[in-house]
């Protein structure tokens, strides 16, 4: 089973704004940045993620822009994967918004695959107020193609005896893993549909695309895919970055943005149950040159203030005086499980400190929205230096 959220970032950003559901909206795309995500009305007008914001606005005058809420993205993603984990232990994370699930062992407990898929769709809609599409098939490849065909907000099941009937009418561009250059190469061979691909002799494909890839194309045309659902490698880092609306050399503005990025990273660490051993910052100057610096934390942490203090020290070591900065980023690295890691307390530490405060903020944010409780320094504008 392949489960994929529908326009995830846009859907999360618009969960509580139903008046915008049917109008073109992009997430992000402020000033000089790029479009982080677009809802389906915007996509139908030619807007796509990664497009420069200025181009998107020229393409669709009056386009509505909403700011990204990274804490909400992280919280909703965690909730989605908690739903997956309640279905089966065999979950392979594809990204923040999609996963492969092997539900073979859950059939006796939860019913046939289509019923499980509809249960997942209903639970995601009820608990997270967004929609998802589900593809079900005998292999990962077929399930992935099926979920694409199910979009948006649908379910497609392909039984083993229907694989060829499902795949062969499709254009080769619909196959997972076939990009523009491969599609163009196939077109030069007169291959436009999956049925055309299935009829092409394997040696011809291997001659055109190489032994390994040519053989893979021949197998995929019939839905053959020997890969199993496997638990993905554990994440070893998490980060956040932001591009300024206007390049700045003001250290107060830069340090305030480092605080905002540190808060995002700390929240993501707590959500994932991890602590960071190392913190790194990245600074991109107005000439697009980029430098990074990192340091080992005094003790593994998921506390905003502790991460920010190290970020500020790293920034202070850079010879940035007078240099205008375009973008800053913060990343927590060498992540370790929070429950299995001892944090050395200081004699001056209170019984309850900032970690408990931020856990309470997380709980309030989960119940009332990510902006329910915020640091004052991130709400009021930063005063220019001097």
Residues 49 and 214: their CA atoms lie apart, in Å, by 30
Best CA proximity match to 364, nearest among 375, 376, 355, 374: 374
Cβ atoms of 284 and 290 closer than 8 Å? yes
Best CA proximity match to 197, nearest among 179, 214, 218: 218
Residues 36 and 34: their CA atoms lie apart, in Å, by 6
Residues 229 and 92: their CA atoms lie apart, in Å, by 6
Best CA proximity match to 29, nearest among 60, 72, 6, 4: 60
| Residue 4 marked ligand-binding | yes
Residues 30 and 51: their CA atoms lie apart, in Å, by 12
Cβ atoms of 34 and 52 closer than 8 Å? yes
Cβ atoms of 291 and 328 closer than 8 Å? no
Question: What would the DSSP string read from start to end of 213-263?
Answer: HHHHHHHHTTT---PPP-PPPPP-EEEEEEEEEEEE--HHHHHHHHHHHHH
173 noted as active-site residue:
no
Best CA proximity match to 255, nearest among 207, 295, 315, 184: 315
Q: Catalytic one among 19, 92, 97, 98?
A: 98
* Residues placed in the known binding site: 4
Please give the positions annotated as active site. 98
Summarize the annotated binding site for Mg(2+) as residue ranges: 4
């Amino acid at each position: 089973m392949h489960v994929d959220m529908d326009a995830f970032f846009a859907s999360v950003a618009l969960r509580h704004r139903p008046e915008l559901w049917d109008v073109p909206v992009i997430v992000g795309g402020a000033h000089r940045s790029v479009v982080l995500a677009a809802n389906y009305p915007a996509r139908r007008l030619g807007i796509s993620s990664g497009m420069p914001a200025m181009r998107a606005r020229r393409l669709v005058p009056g386009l509505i822009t909403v700011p990204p809420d990274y804490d909400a993205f992280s919280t909703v993603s965690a909730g989605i994967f908690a739903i997956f984990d309640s279905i089966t232990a065999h979950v392979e994370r594809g990204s923040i918004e999609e996963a492969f699930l092997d539900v073979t062992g859950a059939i006796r407990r939860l019913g046939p695959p289509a019923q499980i898929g509809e249960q997942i769709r209903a639970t995601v809609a009820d608990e997270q107020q967004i929609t998802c599409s589900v593809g079900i098939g005998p292999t990962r490849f077929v399930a992935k193609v099926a979920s694409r065909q199910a979009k948006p907000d649908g379910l497609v099941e392909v039984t083993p005896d229907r694989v060829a009937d499902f795949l062969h009418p499709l254009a080769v561009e619909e196959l997972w893993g076939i990009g523009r250059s491969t599609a163009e190469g196939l077109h030069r061979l007169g291959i436009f549909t999956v049925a055309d691909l299935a009829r092409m002799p394997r040696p011809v494909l291997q001659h055109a695309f190489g032994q390994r890839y040519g053989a893979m194309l021949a197998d995929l045309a019939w839905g053959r895919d020997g890969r199993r659902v496997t638990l993905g490698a554990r994440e070893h880092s998490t980060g956040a970055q932001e591009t300024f609306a206007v390049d700045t050399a003001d250290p107060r503005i830069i340090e305030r943005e480092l605080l905002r990025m540190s808060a995002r990273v700390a929240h993501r660490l707590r959500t994932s149950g991890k602590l960071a051993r190392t913190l790194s910052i990245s600074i991109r100057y107005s000439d697009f040159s980029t430098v990074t610096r990192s340091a080992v934390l005094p003790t593994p942490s998921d506390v905003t203030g502790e991460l920010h203090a190290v970020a500020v020290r790293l920034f202070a070591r850079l010879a940035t005086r007078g240099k205008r900065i375009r973008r800053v980023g913060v990343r927590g690295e060498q992540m370790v499980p929070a429950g299995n890691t001892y944090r050395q307390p200081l004699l001056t530490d209170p019984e309850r400190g900032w970690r408990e405060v931020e856990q309470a903020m997380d709980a309030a944010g989960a119940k009332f929205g990510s902006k329910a409780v915020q640091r004052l320094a991130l709400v009021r504008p930063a005063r220019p230096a001097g």
